Amino acid sequence: MWHDALLVARKDLRIEARSRVALWQVVPFAVLVLVLLAFAVGPGVAPLRHAAPGIFWIAVLFSTVLTVQRSVAIESGEGTRDGLRLSGIDPGGIFLGKAAAVGLQLLVLQIVLWAGMTVLFDVRVHVVWLAIAATVAATVGLACAGVLYGALSAGLRVRETLLPILVLPVLAPVLLAGSKAWQAALSSHAGSGAQWLRILIPFAVIYLVVGTVFYGPLQEAA
């Protein structure tokens, strides 16, 4: 399964590297969300700093929807899904591979967003381990839940409108816990910030397990 996952992840990442949709569409979109929300909250530095974690995760959430839609679109070509199913690759492996590819793209996106926030909002991370732990756990959760819901909407003509309705409520706990953990990471001490990892880590584990188990039936239904 792990070997299959690696194969699928490499395939998806190679397609992204060639098409550069993530680079030229998703990343600019995320930065645009960052700037637009800054317009709504700013222009003072103090309110921007206060709202920075929430703005960051809102931008990541919206970008997750776009990245997942792109990940689904890769498989929506004529006979692509059937080809993948006929290849004998383990469905759990396909899920893990697609989630890994989406997760990796999201991590790169978050680095870009973080750089943008440092410049635009003048914020600094003080508790580095907490920011990294929260980001990694949240990204795994976002990628797994996103790919699972992407599979639910795959093959439907209305998937562009259906996916946000399905996935955004599910991702709301990540927005909440990620923002709170980042709020603590931006302050001078971790405080109770680490307790939000108790939401992010189980969320990631639940969707990782559920996705690995149920991706097969969903693939057959697509």
Partner 1 sequence: MMAVATVSRPRWLSVVGLLGVVAVAGTVWLGLWITPPDVTQGNLARLLYIHPPLATVALYWAGSVAAAGSLLYLWPRTRSLFWDRLAAAAVEVGAVFSALTLITGSLWGRPAWGAWWTWDARLTSTALLLLLELGYLALRRVPADVAVRARRCAVAALLVAVDVPIVHFSVDWWQTLHQTGTVLDPGFHLHVHGSMAWTLLLGFIAFSLIFVWLLGVRYRIEVLQDMVGDQELEVSLVERWSEGTELAGVGSAGRGRPGGETP
Residue 111 within binding range of partner 1, rule CB under 8 A: no
Stretch binding partner 1 (CB under 8 A), from 13-21, 26-34, 60-68, 169-177: 169-177
Which ranges constitute the DSSP H helices of 20-74?
A: 21, 27-41, 45-74
Stretch binding partner 1 (CB under 8 A), from 47-55, 57-65, 111-119, 209-217: 209-217
Phi, psi of 189 (to 5 degrees): -140, 150
Q: Which is nearer to partner 1, 32 or 213 (CB)?
A: 213
Assigned token pair, 112 = 């870009």
Angle, CA 126 vertex, CA 122 and CA 127 arms, to 5° = 140
Of positions 118, 172, 189, 191, contacts partner 1 by CB under 8 A: 172
Closest separation in Å from C-beta 180 to partner 1: 11
Of positions 170, 194, 197, 205, contacts partner 1 by CB under 8 A: 170
Cα–Cα distance measured from residue 1 to residue 29, given in angstroms and rounded to the nearest whole number: 34
Residue 206 within binding range of partner 1, rule CB under 8 A: yes
For residue 201, give the nearest of 147, 138, 144 by alpha carbon.
138
Say if residues 39 and 65 touch (Cβ distance below 8 Å). no
Q: Which spans of this chain sit near partner 1 (rule: CB under 8 A)?
A: 148-149, 152-153, 156, 158, 162, 165-166, 169-170, 172-173, 206, 210, 214, 217-218, 220-222
